[in-house]
């Protein structure tokens, strides 16, 4: 019975150097970013509450409601880049 040849071992390459962690490279979020993020959410909530209590100029209006919701959405969108 014929004898099969053994397979040649592949040449080993050194592993690639580790890539730096992108989160650690950027560092923490600046203080103004955090203040703006929470400020937009708080201001949006305040506008909606004042709109429902009929304390906004022009009375209860859907424009104020959408403005408040846009502020809250902007604050939550900023949380995506929070480090």
Please list the pLDDT of the chain residue by residue as tens digits (83 residues): 777 777 777 778 888 888 877 666 778 889 999 999 999 999 999 999 999 999 999 888 899 999 999 999 999 999 998 88
> Is 17 part of a structural domain of the chain?
no
Q: What angle do CA 44, 72, 55 make, to 5 degrees?
A: 20
Q: Quick one: tokens of 14? A: 């050194």
> Is 10 part of a structural domain of the chain?
no
> Is 75 part of a structural domain of the chain?
yes
Q: What predicted TM-score, i.e. pTM, was given to this entire model?
A: 0.70
- Please give the radius of gyration of the chain, using alpha carbons only, rounded to the nearest integer: 29
Domain enclosing residue 62, as ranges: 27-81
Q: What DSSP designation does 82 have?
A: -
Of residues 47, 48, 24, 39, the one with CA closest to residue 74: 39
Domain count, the chain: 1
**Residue 30 dihedral angles phi and psi, to the nearest 5°:** -70, 160
């Amino acid at each position: 019975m014929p004898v099969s040849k053994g397979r040649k071992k592949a040449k080993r390459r050194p592993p690639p150097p580790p890539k730096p962690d992108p989160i650690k490279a950027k560092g923490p979020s600046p203080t103004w970013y955090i203040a703006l993020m929470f400020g937009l959410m708080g201001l949006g909530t305040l506008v909606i509450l004042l709109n429902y209590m009929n304390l906004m100029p022009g009375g209860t209006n859907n424009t104020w409601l959408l403005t408040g919701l846009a502020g809250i959405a902007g604050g939550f969108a900023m949380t995506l880049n929070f480090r």
